[in-house]
Amino acid sequence: MKKTLVAAAILGLGLSAAHAQEVVKIGGAAPLTGTIAHLGKDLENGARLALEEANARGVTIGGKPVKLEFMGEDDQADPRTGTTVAQRLVDAGVKAVVGHLNSGTSIPASRIYHQAGIAQITPASTNPKLTQQKYPGVFRTIANDVQQGSVLGKFAVESLGAKKIAIIDDRTAYGQGLADETEKAAKSAGAQIVAREFTTDKATDFNSILTKIRSANPDVIFFGGMDAQAGPMLRQFKQLGITAKFLSGDGSCSPEMIKLAGDAIGANAYCSMAGLPIEKMPGGADFRARYKKRFNADVQIYSPYAYDAATAIITAMEKAGSAEPSKYLPELKKVNFDGVIGNISFDDKGDLKQGSITVYQFKDGAWVPL
Amino acid sequence: MDAETLQQLINGLVIGSVYALIALGYTMVYGILGLINFAHGDVLMVGAMTALQTMLFLMGVAPGMSPVAMLTLALLVAIPVSMLIGYTMERLAYRRLRNAPRLAPLITAIGMSFLLQTLAMIIWGRNYHTFPQLISTTPLQPVEGVFVTPVQIVIIVVSALLMIGLTLLVNRSRIGRAMRATAENHRTASLMGVDTNAVIAFTFIIGAGLAAVAGVMYASNYGIAHYGMGFMPGLKAFTAAVLGGIGNLGGAMLGGIVLGLVESFGAGYIERLTFGFLNSSYQDIFAFIILGLVLIFRPTGLLGERVSDRA
């Protein structure tokens, strides 16, 4: 009895080795339902495309041909769901994860990936806290808010010629962090901060703080927060006769913002987003064509970053000759290649070394890159 | 008075009159039933969303309609819908709990608030909606450096008219006398031939109608609407009602205006008043500090609570 079992086991092993290629699973997590589902799907498709192209070219890890398999999960942009799907990915044995989209989901999920010892590369979350946790497996292929804030502060002073700047933030981790970084950069570029005011991410009335700011007569008013506040805020600019330029970060750099601001938005509104518009990426045009052919859809925002994130993982695994996190993580820290978005290499915290920021201006009903 | 002070005064009066209008709904219901109707803020939201829906519909079928006519029609739909919601809440939930311990209707009111918000979320989604600003928001400059928009003037005027109208209704009309009698003593009033059920239902209906108007004005002023928009103004208006003396109509009006002014001046001057120790992130706390102080020295609010002896 024992003998037959052993024999069957050996037979089975032989069979599986002969038949199936070794499979390495790579996870993806992003909101696939809800208001930003289109962006989540975009992210997932970027990672999927990288894996499929690598498979078509043939992946060899440690001398053995390997098939990469993608496993995508829906985190609903919700922190709690984010940790649930993170655990599901870990339980399914993924060797690395591309995701999540929101900082609010990336940060809690990063702990689960860290405990499992696997790599997480986010192509979208910009909050500095994510990499400040110093988890060795966390990376991002997009500029963080420290980088964004320093570009915004410099832009206000050098490009918009602002001497006096007023700053408002919504007291969230994102808004406050971005506002602090912008303030620092603007000050060191030589501007004077004439007012620092606060609101909340649920407020709709900014008349009192704007009235106060108006008396200080700033050239530029910066807002660290989301489009749902920035829209009404711009309307109140108009109602209070404020003519200062309005500058904000990626949270207010959306088509939604244009809709909510109505007729109060004009060429005095500027915002920034991490990354480059796809036309300006080194591999942008080619990527867009390949993406369109595969998914019959247009690139939204994050797919090029996700593509590069997945490529970084594959490159590190091939170099290390192993899909085991303990083996490939040191290689991932050292990757250095030219991806779709530009050079991909990480600093010691896991942030992109050459993260770029683009500033947009409102023109003819849309955000136009400057 | 310099331009900044004058501007803060206008800011405070505008938001204060909206608070006052909402606070009337809280205070009327409290005066008669001793119930704090926490779903009142959400009735405001229903009013605004219904008006939005109506406007979008009208823009689709009659794009050339004049803004004033469109706004009037939107109000003519929003007010009855909100009244219906107010009446339904009273009929289905609160009436059955009228003799229950006080905690039961209070918790039911919170439940009603959740229910309305969730229903609105299902119907209109989670997104923010642009609310058509049919009254001009291009500011006028009556004094150099002081800006006021036509919509803000309309808000102040309409609120004042509605408050005067309500005061006349309660003090001069037959149904007003019935309302006062019911507030005085529920049971005695009914022995005197007052149909107290009808009076209470009427109170809810009037309050909901005022909330609908407040909601439309609120959304018109800020240009946005969404399913959770009733929560904050509801909470603030409740504070205003307590500040003025809950159950007291004049108190609700005064409380609303005072709260609006305190908030506005608080946010504008708190940093200078405390020499930089506190800043505008404490603007809400400032309003509640005033509330706390008033309640310590005048526990029944500025104008005194109308204490009904049946509570």
pLDDT recorded at residue B310: 37
Give the ipTM of the model, two decimals please: 0.89
pLDDT in tens, B202-215: 999 999 999 999 99
C-alpha to C-alpha distance for A296 and A289, rounded to whole angstroms: 10
Residue A361 to chain B, least CA–CA distance (Å): 21
pLDDT recorded at residue A255: 82
Q: Do A239 and B15 touch (CB under 8 A)?
A: no
Summarize the confidence of residues B148-177 as an average pLDDT: 94
pLDDT recorded at residue A56: 94
For the range B70-73, what are the long-range contacts, defined as Cβ-Cβ under 8 Å and sequence gap of 24 or more?
B70/B132, B70/B134, B71/B134, B71/B135, B71/B216, B71/B220
Partner-chain residue, chosen from B130, B137, B280, that has the shortest CB–CB distance to A209: B280
A161 pLDDT band, cuts 50/70/90, is: very high
A211 touches chain B (CB under 8 A): yes
pLDDT in tens, B69-90: 999 999 999 999 999 999 999 9
pLDDT in tens, A292-333: 999 998 888 889 999 999 999 999 999 999 999 999 999 999
pLDDT recorded at residue A17: 46
Residue ranges, CATH 3.40.50.2300, chain A:
14-143+280-356, 146-274
pLDDT recorded at residue A20: 59
Summarize the confidence of residues B133-149 as an average pLDDT: 89
Q: Do A232 and B133 touch (CB under 8 A)?
A: no
Query: Does B226 sit behind a cis peptide bond, omega within 30 degrees of 0 on the bond before it?
Result: no
pLDDT recorded at residue B311: 35
For the range A336-339, what are the long-range contacts, defined as Cβ-Cβ under 8 Å and sequence gap of 24 or more?
A337/A311, A337/A312, A338/A282, A338/A283, A339/A141, A339/A283, A339/A304, A339/A307, A339/A308, A339/A311, A339/A312
Measured between CA atoms, the residue of chain B closest to residue A199 is B281
pLDDT in tens, B218-237: 999 999 998 889 998 999 99
Please give the CATH superfamily to which domain A14-143+280-356 belongs: Response regulator (3.40.50.2300)
Q: Is residue A99 exposed (0-12), middle (13-18) or buried (19+ Cβ within 10 Å)?
A: buried
Write down the domain spans for chain B: 14-230
Backbone angles phi, psi at A352, to 5 degrees: -65, 130
pLDDT in tens, B164-184: 999 999 999 999 999 999 998
B220 touches chain A (CB under 8 A): no
Measured between CA atoms, the residue of chain A closest to residue B126 is A35
Q: Please name the residues between 55 and 94 in chain B that touch chain A, using a CB distance below 8 Å.
A: none
3-state SS string over chain A?
CHHHHHHHHHHHHHHHHHHCCEEEEEEEEECCCCCCHHHHHHHHHHHHHHHHHHHHHCEEECCEEEEEEEEEEECCCCHHHHHHHHHHHHHCCCCEEEECCCHHHHHHHHHHHHHHCCEEEECCCCCCHHHHCCCCCEEECCCCHHHHHHHHHHHHHHHCCCCEEEEEECCCHHHHHHHHHHHHHHHHCCCEEEEEEECCCCCCCCHHHHHHHHHHCCCEEEEECCHHHHHHHHHHHHHCCCCCEEEECHHHCCHHHHHHHHHHCCCCEEEEEECCCHHHCCCHHHHHHHHHHHHCCCCCCCHHHHHHHHHHHHHHHHHHCCCCHHHHHHHHHHCCEECCCCEECECCCCCECCCCEEEEEEECCEEEEC
3-state SS string over chain B?
CCHHHHHHHHHHHHHHHHHHHHHHHHHHHHHHHCCCCCCHHHHHHHHHHHHHHHHHHHHHHCCCCCHHHHHHHHHHHHHHHHHHHHHHHHHHHHHHHCCCCCHHHHHHHHHHHHHHHHHHHHHHCCCCEECCCCCCCCCEEEECCEEECHHHHHHHHHHHHHHHHHHHHHHHCHHHHHHHHHHHCHHHHHHCCCCHHHHHHHHHHHHHHHHHHHHHHHHHHHCEECCCCCHHHHHHHHHHHHHHCCCCHHHHHHHHHHHHHHHHHHHHHHHHHCCCCCCHHHHHHHHHHHHHHHHHHCCCCCCCCCCCCCC
Q: Do B280 and A171 touch (CB under 8 A)?
A: no
A255 touches chain B (CB under 8 A): no
Instruction: Say if residue B156's pLDDT is above 90.
Output: yes
Instruction: Say if residue A7's pLDDT is above 60.
Output: no
A274 pLDDT band, cuts 50/70/90, is: confident
pLDDT recorded at residue B268: 85
Q: With contacts defined as CB-CB under 8 Å, which chain B residues touch A256?
A: 127-128
Substitution target from A183, A197, A204 for chain B, most B beta carbons within 10 A: A204
Sequence-separated (6 or more) residues with CB below 8 Å from residue A309: A46, A47, A50, A98, A121, A122, A123, A139, A141
Q: What does the mean pLDDT of chain B come to?
A: 90
C-alpha to C-alpha distance for A321 and A310, rounded to whole angstroms: 16
Summarize the confidence of residues B93-99 as an average pLDDT: 92
Pick the CATH number of A146-274 from 3.40.640.10, 3.40.50.2300, 3.30.470.20, 1.10.10.10: 3.40.50.2300
Measured between CA atoms, the residue of chain B closest to residue A210 is B268
Q: Do A205 and B15 touch (CB under 8 A)?
A: yes
Q: Taking the CB of residue A58, how many other CB atoms lie within 10 A of it?
A: 9
pLDDT in tens, A66-124: 999 999 999 988 889 999 999 999 999 999 999 899 888 999 999 999 999 999 999 98
A16 pLDDT band, cuts 50/70/90, is: very low
Which range among A49-53, B124-128, B185-189 shows the weakest confidence by mean pLDDT? Answer: B124-128
Q: What does the mean pLDDT of chain A come to?
A: 89
B224 touches chain A (CB under 8 A): yes
Q: Do B279 and A198 touch (CB under 8 A)?
A: yes
C-alpha to C-alpha distance for B51 and B209, rounded to whole angstroms: 13
% of residues, chain A, pLDDT over 90: 68
> Cβ(A99)–Cβ(A358) under 8 Å?
no
Q: Do A211 and B139 touch (CB under 8 A)?
A: no
A29 pLDDT band, cuts 50/70/90, is: very high
Substitution target from B140, B148, B283 for chain A, most A beta carbons within 10 A: B283
Residue B194 to chain A, least CA–CA distance (Å): 43
Could you tell me the two tokens for A288? 């867009």
Could you tell me the two tokens for B281? 């992130």
Nearest of A118, A159, A157 to residue A136 by alpha carbon: A118
For the range A195-198, what are the long-range contacts, defined as Cβ-Cβ under 8 Å and sequence gap of 24 or more?
A195/A166, A195/A167, A196/A166, A196/A167, A196/A168, A196/B279, A197/A166, A197/A167, A197/A168, A197/B279, A197/B280, A198/A168, A198/A169, A198/A170, A198/A171, A198/B279, A198/B280, A198/B281, A198/B283
